A and B are shown apart, each in its own frame.
Chain A
């Protein structure tokens, strides 16, 4: 997967030109406002604060594109795991692999439906392991390959008890790991909000320092 900004923006479904135009306009307005405030107040503090604010804004927006891409990939992986639990139910109720995947279409997002349809079309003509690997490669999680290989074995060697057990064991481990990861991710995300009160206290300290400096400056001028 390409990591440059243009490919990331296009991957998440946005237009590179539009996003760059928006950033340019915000930057231009920010610089114009900074110059205006400096000329109006003759005070360096406002342009410095504005530059600081703009830097934070650009960092958040640009980093946000990479975060969105990562979230999209994660949601695809989670959808894959969710669909596997349904696949497991269909298989245990005596559907074959093809029928089970076909039934998964009604539980899938548009993106997943496209991938499953491609996969089903490929396994119609190609009886090798290749379509299974190509389907697994749509996901970031490495264990997707193991799962699809296990499913291929079910098709190739017959859906006997041993293969079903192997698949069930593999899938249960994945599901358990996924749930634990979700719990830890949620706890980590909620914990990261704790930094905001510290930012607030920091802002209070900065405001206090700047106000005192300004007041002292005025006092010195009077003296």
Chain B
């Protein structure tokens, strides 16, 4: 996450450099640089940050629910299960729990609905409340919840591997396109000097970078639109 601004700036500079090489025009290179930097910092970074935050929070939710259910089935103690599960969680979660340590145990779990804003956690809380009030085998009662959350976790893992593969494929195709532009610039050097001044050529080369930014935005939207029921960014 912290490297995204660095890579965004690097890609913007590369775009501007290739645009200059392709058109011999500082104006076109400048426009491409400004458009790229604006896009990456105003839109791209925000979308990625939101997506990464939601996915990480869901991973935490998955870990918490599984550990809590197992712990509760073994110890049959709500407070003991919450204590042992909390110790296995990350720093953000521990800070959250520390902030609500004066609450009653069941209230803490209810408060965590804000930390884990997923429908599955709300359902898990309702199921735990029923188990606490009426008793019963928590593993059997929460079987469908654990199945659901496990499937979502598997879907996210599968998504991540598909995203990496597709990003590599599309990145390679764009690299070839820019490579063709650079080769043309050096291979047709004399001819290039005359037609690089043509407005239509400069517009077309500028258009290539505009299309590149559109493709990055479309790709980002498509992979960040993963649907986790109850999450804020769900469509």
Contact = CB atoms under 8 A, between A and B. Distances in A.
A194 interface: yes
B208 A186 contact: no
Interface in B183-235: 184, 191, 194-196, 198, 200-201, 203-205, 207-208, 211-212, 214-215, 218-219, 222-223, 226-227, 229-230, 235
A200 B219 contact: no
A186 B159 contact: yes
Contact of A196 (B123, B158, B181, B212): B212
B162 A93 contact: no
A197 B215 contact: yes
A168 B219 CA distance: 36
A107 interface: yes
Given A86-B123, A92-B143, A200-B212, A179 B151 contact: yes
Contacts of A196: 170, 174, 211-212, 214-215, 218
Interface stretch (A114-122, A123-131, A139-147, A204-212): A204-212
A214 B130 CA distance: 78
B144 interface: yes
Contact of A201 (B180, B195, B227): B180
B163 interface: yes
A4 interface: no
Interface band, chain A: 35 or more
Nearest to B229: A82
Interface residues of B, number: 56
Contacts of B94: none
A114 B171 CA distance: 45
User: A187, A197, A212: which has the most chain B beta carbons within 10 Å?
Assistant: A197
Interface of A: 45, 71, 75, 78, 82, 85-86, 88-89, 92-93, 103, 106-107, 175, 179, 182-183, 186-187, 189-191, 193-194, 196-201, 203-204, 206-208, 210-212, 214-215
Interface of B: 119, 122-123, 126-127, 130, 136, 140-145, 147-148, 151, 155, 158-159, 162-163, 166, 169-170, 173-174, 176-177, 180-181, 184, 191, 194-196, 198, 200-201, 203-205, 207-208, 211-212, 214-215, 218-219, 222-223, 226-227, 229-230, 235
Given A86-B123, A204-B180, 5 more contacts: A179-B155, A193-B222, A199-B211, A210-B200, A210-B204
